[in-house]
Amino acid sequence: MPAAFPLIDNARLADGRTVRLTLERGAIAAIEPMDGLRHGPSAPNALDLHGALVLPALFDGHLHLDKTLSGLPWLPHGAGPDRTSRIENDKKILPYLPISTRERAGNLIRRCVAHGTGFLRSHVDIDTHCRLDRLHGVLQAREDHAEYADVQLVAFPQSGVIRDPGTLELLEEAVKEGADLVGGMDPCIIDRDPAGQLDGIFGIADRHGVGIDIHLHETGELGLFSLQEICRRAKALDLRGKVTISHGFCLGTIAESSALAAAELMAESGVMLATHGAAKWPLPPLALLREHGVTVFAGNDDVRDTWSPYGTGDVLARAALIGWRADYRRDDQLGHAFDLVTTSAARAFGVADHGIAVGKRADFFTVQAENLQEAVASHPPRGWVFKGGRAVACDGKAL
Amino acid sequence: MPAAFPLIDNARLADGRTVRLTLERGAIAAIEPMDGLRHGPSAPNALDLHGALVLPALFDGHLHLDKTLSGLPWLPHGAGPDRTSRIENDKKILPYLPISTRERAGNLIRRCVAHGTGFLRSHVDIDTHCRLDRLHGVLQAREDHAEYADVQLVAFPQSGVIRDPGTLELLEEAVKEGADLVGGMDPCIIDRDPAGQLDGIFGIADRHGVGIDIHLHETGELGLFSLQEICRRAKALDLRGKVTISHGFCLGTIAESSALAAAELMAESGVMLATHGAAKWPLPPLALLREHGVTVFAGNDDVRDTWSPYGTGDVLARAALIGWRADYRRDDQLGHAFDLVTTSAARAFGVADHGIAVGKRADFFTVQAENLQEAVASHPPRGWVFKGGRAVACDGKAL
């Protein structure tokens, strides 16, 4: 059960101040220097942080809550080496697991929350085989954990929309039932009809006023072509700040001059990038994208699921991994790594009241680190996690 | 202080058996099934693991104990973006730190040990500026922690040997004073005289019967050229199994056919690869190298030091990172990732009595994981760490 603490004493902020935070109606009502205040817990319901660093809640911008095996005994990876095999393997495994989608998704949400994550964006598979079953499970998990995290759901056509006729209608239905965004998937490779897939999903977004988040694994010039087609439609439909390309491996596998042109195009059309660190692929040029004004945010992607055995759910560790791959070493660059899972992600999620400041929502976590840079680089275990002014996790466990 | 437990009950092994381990004279004297034995601690000095998984001690095959900032307040990264700037920056910073090399190195050794690491290979800078100062500090740290870990030291000419005349003599002196291997560094780029550098360091290894471990960051065909020159000398001097190429970024940045030829050459000349996961570079083709019989092992490289703010010292997490980058998903592949920091590393270190079996040295750690695969993929916090039959760390802290 979440616990309420109206006063939080001896909280150290990223700017070095040690303060008392007063929480009211789920928001930060006051931030006062501890100097001059009585030291130690001021009231029975005050929490003394003893100088632990307080940082704003983390965003996990790319997850698959419906595919996780969290809570199950170990299940060896059963798919072949290519993506198509993983898609087919999911159809053989996911419907027959002994734990429901709702329960598995809930397990992973709580795991992420215990790491300081307050906001998640999960893709949820929709095809003519599972129809809206997984969405329903994840919608229930979202409702179960409404006090713990804000969860955005992407209606994700993992099997394509042209290749699997009827999927577009299901995506539209998913949006009506509560999905926040409509997804897409490798419009050239999976559907072999990029115009067909993109027109279909942009049409849904346009009709329902929702965002778009498209998995784009396509590399090299092929991926660049799809990226250009996505940007063109985002601009035409005036969807600035509402369209995300997830992965965008093409950005790391084309000539630098082409990546520069792609960055300019993304910035101009307001198309964002979500990265999980690119694994075996070259990382997209994050600094270049940032310099050109492209919003880049990050997520864990697979966390022990039918696609990958890896992942801990700790998106701060993921920010460090991405920073390491991006060659971010200086303090300002470690700030950029943190930005991937906080400020830029908040912009992508459309969350305006994020941060440690008076009037902002009381969504934050504590960590034993000297400063923000050490918190990212070493990502020590989290202490308290607050959501909407209440403690929702402590020492690695959801309350 | 290390603590002795002659009996260890309810230890779960990677093969699924739950056993009692009897430790005698630093080795595993007996492994008996728990069935039939009295349950629970059998004697005042028995340790009951309650079914925790026991895995063999980890090897960290590439560290820089002399550069770490462990134990210091946060120090922002001060070097420029290129390697030469980092080399020059070290000369400005390392001699003036308020904590000695001995103490900083010791801090990092204990941190690694608490993660289950029982063997470390550290490069130690030697040049005409710092001469053998850092080696002396790290030699003291090694002696201080003789009961905690076996530490191999590489006399590392970070500034080159031709570019910095007098360094070869210092390397030879370092070997006489206790360095286990002689190092090298980008023979083309750093010295612009590959034959000069390689002949120099291979000469020392040949005269003193020590191994070689060369940092090879050079990419593409240039790195391939250096790799070929290293292999040629390893073969000529019959140094099979005694020569390591660290990083070998060239292997991930040349044509697949060239990488295949390089793997064959490495296997034929018994030259090994140590990888830290390649960061911004494509990962060398680990599966290909393994298939061709090349010994590949892994290490953390920088852990919060003057070169990088990242790193936790957890080499099991590093094995997961490398496995993730190598696209290792199946159970056998997770085994390959574990092999990078255990069996293959033991071969590279020349440690014969490693593993959980009767007669092997009692070097192991415990972790709450269902099996070896979960231990790698999720790398949960370590429990007990044993070295030479004695407990040297518990719950993340050296004893």
Of B336, B318, B317, nearest to B328 by C-alpha is B336
Of A93, A206, A214, nearest to A156 by C-alpha is A214
Are B152 and B22 members of one domain? no
A378 CB neighbours in chain B (<8 A) are: 304, 311-312
N-term to C-term CA, chain A: 5
Residue B269 is predicted with a pLDDT of 98
| Residue A67: other Cβ atoms inside 10 A | 27
B378 CB neighbours in chain A (<8 A) are: 304, 311-312
Are B165 and B218 members of one domain? yes
Residue A380 sits in a domain whose CATH number is 2.30.40.10
Residue B84 is predicted with a pLDDT of 92
Give the chain B residue whose CA is nearest to the CA of A381: B381
Residue A341 sits in a domain whose CATH number is 3.20.20.140
Measured between alpha carbons, how far is B123 from B103 in angstroms, rounded to an integer? Answer: 16
* pLDDT by 10-residue block (mean), chain A, 399 residues: 88 96 97 75 81 98 98 96 93 95 98 98 97 98 98 97 97 98 98 98 98 98 98 97 98 98 98 98 98 98 98 98 98 98 98 97 98 98 97 96
Are A86 and A189 members of one domain? yes
Number of domains in chain A: 2
Are B313 and B379 members of one domain? no
Residue A37 is predicted with a pLDDT of 65
Residue that has been written with the tokens 């290490």 in this structure: B299
Measured between alpha carbons, how far is B335 from A87 in angstroms, rounded to an integer? Answer: 24
Is B16 in contact with B348 (CB distance < 8 Å)?
no
With 80 as the cut, is the pLDDT of residue B1 above it? no
Are A21 and A125 members of one domain? no
Of A76, A308, A326, the CB nearest to B331: A76
Measured between alpha carbons, how far is A152 from A297 in angstroms, rounded to an integer? Answer: 15
Measured between alpha carbons, how far is A280 from B278 in angstroms, rounded to an integer? Answer: 11
Residue B3 is predicted with a pLDDT of 82
For A230, the token pair is: 């996505």
- Asked if A74 and B370 come within 8 Å (Cβ–Cβ), the reply is yes
For A42, the token pair is: 């001021």
Amino acid at B92: K
Are A301 and A262 members of one domain? yes
Of A310, A320, A370, the CB nearest to B74: A370
What dihedral do alpha carbons A281, A287, A291, A296 form, nearest 10°? 60
Considering the entire predicted model, what is its pTM?
Answer: 0.97
Are B110 and B20 members of one domain? no
- Asked if A331 and B379 come within 8 Å (Cβ–Cβ), the reply is no
Give the chain A residue whose CA is nearest to the CA of B322: A279
Distance from CA of B324 to the nearest CA of A (A): 6
For chain A, the 3-state helix, strand and coil shares in percent, each to the nearest 5, are 35, 25, 40
Domain that holds residue B250: 58-349
Question: What distance lies between CA A117 and its chain's CA centroid?
Answer: 9
Residue that has been written with the tokens 């696609």 in this structure: A307
What dihedral do alpha carbons B321, B324, B328, B331 form, nearest 10°? 70
How confident is residue B194, by pLDDT bands cut at 50, 70 and 90? very high
Are A124 and A266 members of one domain? yes
**Structure confidence by residue, pLDDT tens digits, B125-166:** 999 999 999 999 999 999 999 999 999 999 999 999 999 999
Are A366 and A269 members of one domain? no
How confident is residue B2, by pLDDT bands cut at 50, 70 and 90? confident
For A195, the token pair is: 């115009």
Amino acid at A376: V
A323 CB neighbours in chain B (<8 A) are: 310
Cα–Cα distances in angstroms (integers) from residue A193 to residues A131, A203, B283, in the given order:
22, 15, 33
How confident is residue B274, by pLDDT bands cut at 50, 70 and 90? very high
Of B74, B81, B282, the CB nearest to A373: B74
Are B87 and B23 members of one domain? no
Give the chain A residue whose CA is nearest to the CA of B313: A378
With 70 as the cut, is the pLDDT of residue B39 above it? no
Q: Which DSSP string do the residues of A32-87 spell out, in sequence order? A: EESTTSPSS--STTEEE-TT-EEEEPEEEEEE-TTTB-TTSPP----S-SSHHHHH
Amino acid at B297: F
- Asked if B76 and A280 come within 8 Å (Cβ–Cβ), the reply is no
Measured between alpha carbons, how far is B208 from B175 in angstroms, rounded to an integer? Answer: 8
Residue B71 is predicted with a pLDDT of 96
Are A90 and A212 members of one domain? yes
Of B310, B325, B377, the CB nearest to A279: B325
Are A49 and A162 members of one domain? no
Of B27, B260, B66, nearest to B179 by C-alpha is B66
With 70 as the cut, is the pLDDT of residue B34 above it? yes
Per cent of chain B over pLDDT 90 is: 95
Measured between alpha carbons, how far is A168 from A128 in angstroms, rounded to an integer? Answer: 10
Is B110 in contact with B399 (CB distance < 8 Å)?
no
